[in-house]
């Protein structure tokens, strides 16, 4: 059974017909990923030319990864990702909190399944940039379910734990540089999330 995707997305799918409808494996830039696709979960956006849907949130996740790779990445600290939303607009994508959160969870899935492990830093940097910009976006509704997913993810970074829908353990964070963690904590502190009335949500810092 074939899956309808955009032309560019189709180019790098590996043997789509060899896998179940809800499971794909793809290789790009030497990275092999396996992730689940939920039926009907199409992106709430179109490309600027309006010729086809951005087939899945994971397609934009790969756009983010590709842009990071093209910039060469940055170790050990995350690069300046303040232009990530502008990049979304370049692709003709519209803001949608639910779609943002789906992209975020897709990046987590890709990070979990990515081999070889030395490329995980690319995904960590992408997730960091996306989450940080969403937090800085004053129009984002943090009281929504999607907003809670976002905040839980951000707290997970700072606390070295993350469990997405009881199935994702963010153990890779133990290998992150202390300077990265300190940067995350500083961001949260500056935003007021580490005040006494909010500290309970952050768990225990290492």
The rounded distance, in Å, linking the Cα atoms of 98 and 137 is: 14
Determine the length of the chain.
Answer: 206
All structural domains of the chain with their residue ranges? 7-202
The rounded distance, in Å, linking the Cα atoms of 102 and 54 is: 13
**Can you give the pLDDT at residue 38?**
28
**Can you give the pLDDT at residue 198?**
34
pTM for the model stands at 0.34
**Can you give the pLDDT at residue 195?**
42
**Can you give the pLDDT at residue 153?**
52
Please identify every stretch of the chain with a pLDDT value under 50, giving residue numbers as ranges.
Answer: 1-58, 68-69, 72-85, 87-89, 91-94, 115-119, 138, 155-181, 188, 193-206
**Can you give the pLDDT at residue 186?**
58
The rounded distance, in Å, linking the Cα atoms of 159 and 56 is: 30
Element (H, E) at 122: helix 120-136
**Can you give the pLDDT at residue 145?**
59
SS3 103: helix
**Can you give the pLDDT at residue 97?**
54
């Amino acid at each position: 059974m074939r899956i309808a995707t955009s032309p560019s997305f189709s180019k790098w799918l590996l043997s789509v017909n060899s896998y179940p409808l809800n499971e794909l494996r793809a290789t790009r830039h030497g990275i092999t990923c396996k992730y689940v696709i939920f039926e009907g979960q199409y992106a709430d956006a179109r490309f600027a030319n309006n010729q086809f849907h951005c087939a899945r949130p994971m397609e934009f996740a790969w756009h983010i990864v590709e842009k990071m790779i093209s910039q060469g990445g940055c170790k050990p600290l995350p690069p300046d990702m303040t232009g990530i939303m502008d990049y979304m607009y370049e692709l003709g994508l519209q803001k949608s909190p639910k779609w943002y959160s789906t992209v975020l969870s897709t990046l987590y899935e890709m990070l979990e399944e990515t081999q070889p492990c030395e490329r995980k830093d690319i995904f960590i940097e992408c997730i960091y940039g996306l989450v940080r910009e969403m937090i800085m976006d004053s129009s984002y509704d943090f009281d929504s379910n999607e907003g809670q997913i976002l905040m839980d993810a951000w707290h997970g970074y700072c606390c070295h734990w993350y469990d997405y829908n009881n199935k994702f353990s963010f153990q890779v964070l133990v290998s992150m540089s202390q300077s990265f963690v300190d940067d995350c904590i500083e961001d949260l502190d500056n935003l007021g999330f580490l005040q006494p009335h909010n500290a309970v949500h952050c768990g225990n810092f290492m």
